[in-house]
Amino acid sequence: MIEHNFKKKFGQNFLKDSNIIKKIIDSSEIEKESLIIEIGPGSGYLTKELVKKAKVIAYEIDEDLKEILSKEFYNEENIEFIFEDFLQRDIKSDIKKYNYNKLYVIANLPYYITTPIINKIITEKLEPEKMVIMVQKEVGDRFSAKVGTKEYSSITVFLNYYFDIKKEFVVSKNSFIPKPNVDSMVISLTKKKNQKKVRNEEKFFQLVKNSFKYKRKTLKNNLKDYDFSKIIEILKKYNLKEDIRAEQITLDQFIEISNNI
């Protein structure tokens, strides 16, 4: 195993199971002439397999890993390491210099910034074809939740607006060094082919956020500042009751509500 002083503050739990790496690569279905973004290569265990498939830009915040990585990837042409905080970096200008057909994000994410990373990818319009990411298991359950379940939340609706989300497989905490407290899950998010667009994204995101503000409250109570009579018309169309909760409302219904208020 590598000589490295693992840093909890950077979410450093490195994979040690080659079978999991293989399964991540298989789930990614990376096409030729692609560009891969990896966030947090760590010691390069996953990176080693990624560079066999396509060009990779890997962002690593921990400069202590520079030596290990530069030794491991000495003479490797398919890799560019950027030792900076992914969240602070202008990713668009980094990827501009490459010619590629499709963009992928493949990473065993640092869990303390899972949502900020995904938000950045969406708001900065990187528009990857596919993301295959390892997240905390319960986060994966939330991202891929079905309508009507307790895990279904505003982030589920946001992500489903852009992506088809699939649970790939669960990863035991024993597959990492050091061993974390929780199990993990690999999920894939594939860009929607026929994305149904809302008229005003900002308005839509605000509506969804407000709808889920207090989980135990009804939609009507969470949306006190809206003209609810218009919303009722749409609920009626779908045979939904007035005292419904946000977790019962599908993405398409949220889109319709947003477009009509």
Q: What x/- string results for residues 40 through 59 when contact with ligand SAM is judged by CB under 6 A?
A: xxx--xx------------x
Task: Give the whole-angstrom CA distance, residue 240 versus residue 115.
Answer: 31
Binding-site member from 4, 11, 25, 217 for ligand SAM (CB under 6 A) = 11
Q: What are phi and psi of 106, to 5 degrees?
A: -130, 120
Q: Return the number of the residue (11 or 205) whose C-beta is nearest ligand SAM.
A: 11
Q: Are 220 and 197 in contact (CB under 8 A)?
A: no
Binding-site member from 68, 87, 126, 232 for ligand SAM (CB under 6 A) = 87
Q: Are 135 and 159 in contact (CB under 8 A)?
A: no
Binding-site member from 35, 39, 91, 207 for ligand SAM (CB under 6 A) = 39
DSSP state of 116: H
Q: Which long-range contacts (CB under 8 A, 24 or more apart) does 136-141 make?
A: 136/111, 136/182, 136/183, 136/184, 136/185, 137/170, 137/182, 137/183, 137/184, 137/185, 138/182, 139/111, 139/114, 139/185, 140/167, 140/184, 140/185, 140/186, 140/187, 141/167, 141/185
Quickly list DSSP for 195-206: ----S-HHHHHH
Binding-site member from 28, 34, 108, 253 for ligand SAM (CB under 6 A) = 108
Binding-site member from 62, 141, 168, 247 for ligand SAM (CB under 6 A) = 62
Write out the H or E segment, with its range, that includes residue 211.
helix 201-211
Q: Is 13 in the site for ligand SAM (CB under 6 A)?
A: yes
Q: Return the number of the residue (14 or 254) whose C-beta is nearest ligand SAM.
A: 14
Q: Return the number of the residue (143 or 204) whose C-beta is nearest ligand SAM.
A: 143
Q: What are phi and psi of 98, to 5 degrees?
A: -100, 145
Q: Return the number of the residue (105 or 145) whose C-beta is nearest ligand SAM.
A: 105
DSSP state of 30: P
DSSP state of 31: P
Q: Is 12 in the site for ligand SAM (CB under 6 A)?
A: yes
Write out the H or E segment, with its range, that includes residue 139.
helix 137-143
Of the candidate spans 105-113, 123-131, 145-153, 220-228, the one that interacts with ligand SAM by CB under 6 A turns out to be 105-113
Q: Is 140 in the site for ligand SAM (CB under 6 A)?
A: no
Binding-site member from 35, 61, 155, 235 for ligand SAM (CB under 6 A) = 61
Q: Return the number of the residue (30 or 39) whose C-beta is nearest ligand SAM.
A: 39
Q: Smallest gap, in angstroms, from Cβ of residue 241 to ligand SAM?
A: 44
**Which residues sit at the interface with ligand SAM, rule CB under 6 A?**
10-15, 39-42, 45-46, 59-62, 85-87, 108, 110, 113
